[in-house]
A and B are shown apart, each in its own frame.
Chain A
């Protein structure tokens, strides 16, 4: 008999993120398919009652909480102590948690502490013959594996965006508070702030419909034998402004900055998509001036519809990696796209 614990942290405003509701959905799916299983929730944060109430109409039978100012911080030592305490109070065998940056930092360590196992970047859960199996990707999204484990506890970190969010309604939840004894050793680290670009300079927009990818071609000599960096910058920023797309980039383009060449100043490694970059989730992706090599396109695994604009008809996109490849000059096309978007999208 499995006791399934959904482990979530609250956001700074005390709410539950969508990723937490996705984990709850995955856990509820397991619960439904496993006869005699129990579904519990553990919440960690400065205050958690509002979050518990917001999902009170779910099939969860018991709520556990760890609260206090120390648990507001996304910090390994206190998060691990809190997760361990909730787990022990709940006597869980399976823990389902959203793989946010905060939980990804701590979950495998918690599994070690509890003598169990953790699987991260889980994109699917299922039950067959009374056994839980999970799907996750290997070799940077190149192949998908389905696996099962016998050791317990088994902690599953669910990739945000991979599940539908549970839309269970609100109510009033009774939460059993779990005490956690913190020592000075848990407080050697302090979170002092968040560093982010100014609102208008933030080009990474996880919730955008469209991912707009720029490649090194934007900085290369064009048909006239010249580079056109100021124009490239204007076109790219113009497109981002009009479309509200999220900006991704090839490695070659972001690396140029480190090599001392003139580059596009709004790009950093955080924009990089691929093998050593991000694997964002968006409904659509538009690639420009990028060759579509395998180490880049593995980062497109979770992009729905894909289109590319490249001068090279034999680039990687042509080989089954994009739905449509426009063999064209991206400078000319994006200039026109920006014009159309500015005019309200109708030519």
Chain B
């Protein structure tokens, strides 16, 4: 028997990792220099979660994928132009800060409310997905809090694989220490999965998928609820780039034998 899931993926945008980032002080706390000018991408691990969600939905007829995103509306729109071409989903947008310096608890509260408000949400079919850590705050905290707020206590983090068994139970592989995976069996939905890289390549752009998605993406962005993250009780004493830039010694004209000898001595030191 195949289960039709409601798969809600939490994921926002982050600065393109190829950009140089510099912290600055702003009236509301730390921020990035030229933050609104930096090109943005879908948060990578959340992206893997989205592709895994779409793949699961394809294999479980009747399933549907939502992407719940809290970020500055204009930037979300830019990033959605590409993301919407990847896989089918319905966007739920919240207009607010996607900064790494916001508080996970406040972000999670906004996301959980947005999920709970999805029309026709059926918790017995609900799988909440997301990246196990963002590339901004990098806390690995938001999803757990979303899960708690939604009353989901079957939670998994660092997920690389999800298999739906014939009896509807879920087999889940989570990353643990030392390059290993823990294998768990969960009775079924509702469950929450914070994805690591998973097993799927990034889907190619498909303009047809893009066209269908854009019908709901644009209205979702227009009605994106303004969301204020106040950072209640949180204050930063400093945010700084690491001091050590190394003085690289560039060794150009040494023979492989000479280099090998030097490396072996260094390893053994």
Contacts and interface: CB of A to CB of B under 8 A. Distances in A.
Contacts of A186: 153
Given A150-B233, A270-B179, A139 B21 contact: yes
A77 B136 contact: no
Interface residues of B, number: 90
Contacts of B21: 139, 142-143
A155 to B, nearest CB: 10
A272 B234 CA distance: 33
B15 to A, nearest CB: 7
A76 B179 contact: no
Nearest to A190: B185
A294 B239 contact: no
B145 interface: yes
B247 A320 contact: yes
B166 interface: no
Interface string B218-258: 00000000000000111111111110011111111010110
A149 B247 CA distance: 37
Contacts of A258: 199-201
B164 to A, nearest CB: 15
B239 A143 contact: yes
A150 B259 CA distance: 54
Given A195-B183, A345-B264, A293 B18 contact: yes
Given A120-B141, A269-B197, A276-B44, A294 B246 contact: no
A141 B200 CA distance: 26
Nearest to A197: B179
A173 interface: no
22 contacts: A76-B156, A101-B175, A105-B174, A108-B141, A112-B145, A117-B103, A120-B139, A120-B140, A121-B138, A137-B138, A138-B101, A194-B180, A195-B182, A202-B178, A204-B178, A204-B179, A276-B44, A293-B18, A295-B17, A320-B245, A321-B248, A337-B263
Interface of B: 14-15, 17-18, 20-21, 23, 30, 32, 44-45, 100-101, 103-105, 108, 135-142, 144-145, 147-149, 153-158, 160, 171, 173-188, 196-197, 199-201, 232-242, 245-252, 254, 256-257, 259-261, 263-268
The 3 closest A-B pairs by CB, nearest first: A204-B179, A336-B260, A108-B141
